[in-house]
A = this chain, B = another copy of it.
Amino acid sequence: MSGEDNLLRLVEAEEPDENNYHLQDQVGFILRKAHQRHVAIFAAHIADLTPPQFAALAKLYDIGETSQNQLGTLIAMDAATVKGVIDRLKARGLVELSKHEVDKRRLLVNLTPEGREAIERLIPLARAITEETLAPLTAKEAATFLRLLAKLA
């Protein structure tokens, strides 16, 4: 291509490339796709539990009995969402609910023995899910990525 052609292209271009909006370059769009891919990897390893359900069990395993509201805060779910997640875990016998003795507003959530057995069985699979999600990156890249991602979250 000649210099004249380049000049012509610049003159004729109604919208220079720098002014175009490319959805596929936007952080929000890529974030959504990366999240989708992770959920698919999760489902391939753990078919009978969703990531939010797993998060609830893992957090209860970590900290023990807590209120539904507090659990929601810890796993980044609003009150309406956490209620649905806990309801489904309760229906499957993985958590049990009880009323707080002192503060009658609070609904306490705890693992059942079945729930504890389940999360202990699943945690090794969760480590594999993390590993597979990060597999496109080298170890050094993964560390950098996690550091920067945490700053955004």
Which residues of A does B touch, CB under 8 Å?
A: 20-23, 25-39, 42, 51, 55, 58-59, 61-62, 75-76, 123, 126-127, 129-130, 133-134, 136-137, 141, 144-146, 148-153
Contacts and interface: CB of A to CB of B under 8 A. Distances in A.
B133 A62 contact: no
- 4 closest A-B pairs by beta carbon, nearest first, are A33-B153, A34-B153, A145-B148, A136-B151
Nearest to A119: B21
Contacts of A22: 62
Contact of A27 (B25, B36, B38, B76): B38
Given A28-B51, A35-B31, A38-B31, A21 B149 contact: no
Given A127-B21, A136-B152, A32 B76 contact: yes
B133 A137 contact: no
Given A35-B32, A51-B32, A76-B32, A152 B133 contact: yes
Nearest to A52: B32
A54 to B, nearest CB: 9
A126 B144 CA distance: 26
Contacts of A145: 27, 145, 148-149, 152
Contacts of A28: 38-39, 42, 51, 129-130, 133
